[in-house]
A = this chain, B = another copy of it.
Amino acid sequence: MYNFRTDLALERRDIFKKNNNLDEIDGVETENKEIDENLKVSKVKITNQNGEQAIGKPIGDYITIDIKKLRIAEEDEIQKSAEVLSTELKEVINKHVQSKDDVLVVGLGNMYVTPDSLGPKVINDIDVTRHIIKYLPQYIDENARPVSAISPGVLGTTGIETLEILEGIVNNIKPKLLIVIDALASRSIERISSTIQISDTGIVPGAGVGNTRKELSQRTLNIPVVAIGIPTVVESAVLVNDCLDLFIEKLQNEAKSNDYLNKLKDQDNYEEIKEALNPNDYNIIVTPKEIDELIDNMSSIVARGINMSL
């Protein structure tokens, strides 16, 4: 499989089409909706094996919500985005469970590392009801859905695979559906903490930050897993690699027929660049300076969107 270096189905489709000079891909359908000038919803449907291989993601729907100017968003824009998320999410959830079925919301990430703190922040704002239904049923509407929520932490600070933690909890409290919030990798700086991808085909935690972990999905957990993924960083090697590609393209356009450059373009300089850019084992990332504010706004949207849909 081609290394797309993005988890967004939308970006993968564009890259695949461009690299293969295609107008459309067999097994991949797209639909776009513009809610207003700052809010756009796109659906990528992967419908057959060919689409699966092209995009490198399982058959299913991948909904992308793009929110422009989120950093300076006013309250009403945040509320509107949350409502759009809620509408899309409700549709996905209702495919898998009944209205009173138990749901567990999982926020991946590390609360003490700013660009990685979105998941735990969302969990803090989820309206949990499971304990009220269990211990104080008289205080809650009898049609309320049991909702619980957890931030399991990251392998580097827990020493335990996220899958191992969730397996234990899922076996013990037996929810009917998991909603998992995670960081994604994206190719576009514009999408950092400004785009939401919803899918129901599971998730590989940490993919967005370069540490692939064991898959969380129906296959590994035996219940449906709805993933809400948000790009929070762009890896610096990706950025430079993309710029080099653009640059070589420019050289080719201007110098014409240059075998040497063609060869360079074909080869993937990513690993080489990555090594050069990562001194001291740091995890170098590209992020807007306003990341704290972006994360706060996005975490309001996701928490409200989930609360409204449950």
Contact with B along A224-266 (1 / 0, CB 8 A): 0000000001001001100110110001001100001100100
Task: Quote the shortest CB–CB distance from A154 to chain B (angstroms).
Answer: 10
Are A158 and B152 neighbours in the complex by a CB distance under 8 Å?
Answer: no
Q: For the complex, is A148 an interface residue (Cβ under 8 Å from B)? A: yes
Q: For the complex, is A92 an interface residue (Cβ under 8 Å from B)? A: no
Q: Bound complex: CA of A68 vs CA of B115, how far in Å?
A: 23
Which residues of chain B come closer than 8 Å to A112, judged between CB atoms? 124, 292
Q: For the complex, is A209 an interface residue (Cβ under 8 Å from B)? A: yes
Tell which of B68, B114, B150, B240 touches A292, judged by Cβ atoms closer than 8 Å.
B114
Known: A209-B289, A284-B286. A148 touches B128 (CB 8 A): no
Contact with B along A57-81 (1 / 0, CB 8 A): 0000000000011010001000100
Copies of this chain held together in the complex: 4
Q: Bound complex: CA of A130 vs CA of B153, how far in Å?
A: 15
Tell which of B75, B123, B158 touches A149, judged by Cβ atoms closer than 8 Å.
B158
Q: For the complex, is A190 an interface residue (Cβ under 8 Å from B)? A: yes
Are A289 and B115 neighbours in the complex by a CB distance under 8 Å?
Answer: yes
Task: Quote the shortest CB–CB distance from A187 to chain B (angstroms).
Answer: 13
Stretch at the interface among A2-10, A11-19, A39-47, A159-167: A159-167
Are B128 and A159 neighbours in the complex by a CB distance under 8 Å?
Answer: yes
Task: Quote the shortest CB–CB distance from A237 to chain B (angstroms).
Answer: 10
Q: For the complex, is A146 an interface residue (Cβ under 8 Å from B)? A: yes
Nearest B residue to A260 via CB reads B255
Q: For the complex, is A25 an interface residue (Cβ under 8 Å from B)? A: no
Nearest B residue to A110 via CB reads B124
Nearest B residue to A171 via CB reads B168
Q: For the complex, is A22 an interface residue (Cβ under 8 Å from B)? A: no
Known: A285-B286, A287-B284. A169 touches B159 (CB 8 A): no
Q: For the complex, is A197 an interface residue (Cβ under 8 Å from B)? A: no
Which 10 residue pairs across A and B have the least CB separation, nearest first?
A168-B168, A128-B159, A148-B159, A130-B159, A168-B172, A283-B289, A282-B288, A168-B169, A190-B279, A131-B159
List, sorted by A's number, 19 A–B pairs whose CB atoms are closer than 8 Å: A68-B280, A111-B111, A113-B289, A113-B292, A114-B291, A128-B156, A129-B159, A131-B161, A147-B159, A148-B160, A149-B153, A150-B158, A150-B160, A151-B153, A168-B169, A189-B279, A284-B286, A285-B287, A285-B289
